[in-house]
Amino acid sequence: MSNRPDIHISEVGPRDGLQSLRQTMATPAKLAWIDALHAAGLREIEVGSFVPAALLPQLADSAELVRHARGLAGLTVLALVPNLRGAQAALAAGVHKLTLPLSVSAAHSLANVRRTPAQMLEELRSVAALRRERAPGVGLEVGLSTAFGCTLQGRVDEDEVIRLAVQAAAAGADEVGLSDTSGMADPAQVRRLFTRLRAELGARAGAAHLHNTRGLGLANCLAAFDVGVRSFDASLAGLGGCPYAPGASGNVVTEDLVFMFEAMGLRTGVDLERLLAARAPLRAGLPGEPLYGMLAEAGLPKGFVAQQAAGHV
């Protein structure tokens, strides 16, 4: 009997969910939201991004959020860093894990971080060296952005996705996941790419970061699960999107994703009633902002029992 969940959910709402919104959520409201997410059982939260405040004022308080989140028991505090300077600031704040975005699409990479994919690989090597020198216990993951297609470039070559994943692992990433930045993926493509990624990287194949732009978010998560993926990014109420991927909209809804897996008999370690309650501080902190999710509208089915037993996988 193991207490380890069958499915690992990384909540990315406080970063990915907020970065594209016009309004800025006040810091006290963010802290209350993060506390509610933790109380629901989420044990990895991407609390912010260490980018210049002039570019993303919505995330200017990331260091304060990291310091607060470090006080929450059992929580892995994650932050996005686009470069070496961001990694230095994140490590100084005390993050437990760094995530670095590496676009497969050259057009998106230049729009998002003003560097080519090759230049971002060099940045990754610098961040990995910094991590080894200053904080060897801190995790370093890479998310391959636009792995399933790009609104700027169009089709993305699947062979290039796998080549870049292998190069990112060689450059020092502990894990390399695939991100559907613009919501262009379909289940067959998800199965294909994650099968190839896992064959190449084994245990270093990372999370599925999938969007629901065209309504295929949960179907794509299930496709990834079918080929062995057990780690998923999601955002409470489906908030999210990339400011530099026109037409890209929200992430997979955390509540709906947790419900799907729990209904399948798989443990996520997340309390669904408390997770639904975590929408209240989000709504209070973002008045008027649309919140998404089918479970929040329909409610839990009568007689539904969450999974408490050891893993079924």
Mean pLDDT of all residues in 9-30: 95
Domains of the chain, each with CATH number or no CATH:
8-298 (3.20.20.70)
User: Do 172 and 214 meet the contact criterion of CB atoms below 8 Å apart?
Assistant: no
Question: Is pLDDT of 48 > 90?
Answer: yes
Comparison of pLDDT for 243 and 286, the residue scoring more: 286
Under DSSP, is residue 175 helix (H, G, I), strand (E, B) or coil? strand
Q: How far apart are CA 99 and CA 45, in angstroms?
A: 12
Q: How far apart are CA 111 and CA 113, in angstroms?
A: 6
Question: Is pLDDT of 1 > 50?
Answer: no
Question: Is pLDDT of 158 > 60?
Answer: yes
Mean pLDDT of all residues in 178-200: 96
**Nearest-CA neighbor of 111 among 82, 152, 167?**
152
Maximum distance among all Cα pairs of the chain, rounded to whole angstroms:
53
Under DSSP, is residue 76 helix (H, G, I), strand (E, B) or coil? strand
Banded model confidence at residue 3, pLDDT cuts 50, 70, 90: confident
Q: How far apart are CA 235 and CA 279, in angstroms?
A: 11
| DSSP-derived secondary structure for 101-163 | EEESSHHHHHHHHSS-HHHHHHHHHHHHHHHHHH-TTSEEEEEEETTT-BTTTB---HHHHHH
Give 176's strand partners.
142, 205
Phi, psi of 15 (to 5 degrees): -105, -70
Arithmetic mean of pLDDT over the chain: 93
pLDDT at 313: 39
The residue type found at 201 is L
Instruction: Please tell me the total number of residues recorded for the chain in this structure.
Output: 313
pLDDT at 143: 95
Banded model confidence at residue 309, pLDDT cuts 50, 70, 90: very low
Comparison of pLDDT for 271 and 110, the residue scoring more: 271
Q: How far apart are CA 89 and CA 99, in angstroms?
A: 13
Mean pLDDT of all residues in 214-235: 97
User: Do 27 and 65 meet the contact criterion of CB atoms below 8 Å apart?
Assistant: yes
How far apart, in Å, are the Cα atoms of 259 and each of 27, 47, 139, 155? 29, 23, 28, 32
For 97, other C-beta atoms within 10 Å of its C-beta total: 18
Q: How far apart are CA 49 and CA 99, in angstroms?
A: 9
Estimate the crossing angle of helix 117-134 against helix 84-93, to 10 degrees: 30
Q: How far apart are CA 166 and CA 199, in angstroms?
A: 11
pLDDT at 114: 84
Q: How far apart are CA 241 and CA 225, in angstroms?
A: 23
Banded model confidence at residue 2, pLDDT cuts 50, 70, 90: low
pLDDT at 65: 98
Side-chain-side CA neighbours of 209 within 13 Å: the count stands at: 29
> 136-150, 266-280, 294-308: which range is least confident on average?
294-308
Catalytic residues: 242
pLDDT at 79: 98
Question: 176 — alpha (psi -120 to 50), left (phi > 0) or beta?
Answer: beta
Question: Is pLDDT of 244 > 60?
Answer: no
Residue range 91-150, pLDDT digits in tens: 999 999 999 999 999 888 888 788 899 999 999 999 999 999 999 999 999 999 999 999
Instruction: Take residue 92 and report the two structure tokens written for it.
Output: 């100084």
For 266, other C-beta atoms within 10 Å of its C-beta total: 18
8 alpha carbon, distance to own chain's centre = 11
Percent of the chain clearing pLDDT 90 (strictly above): 82
pLDDT at 111: 81
User: Do 79 and 98 meet the contact criterion of CB atoms below 8 Å apart?
Assistant: yes
Q: How far apart are CA 313 and CA 306, in angstroms?
A: 16
pLDDT at 108: 86
Question: Is pLDDT of 249 > 70?
Answer: no
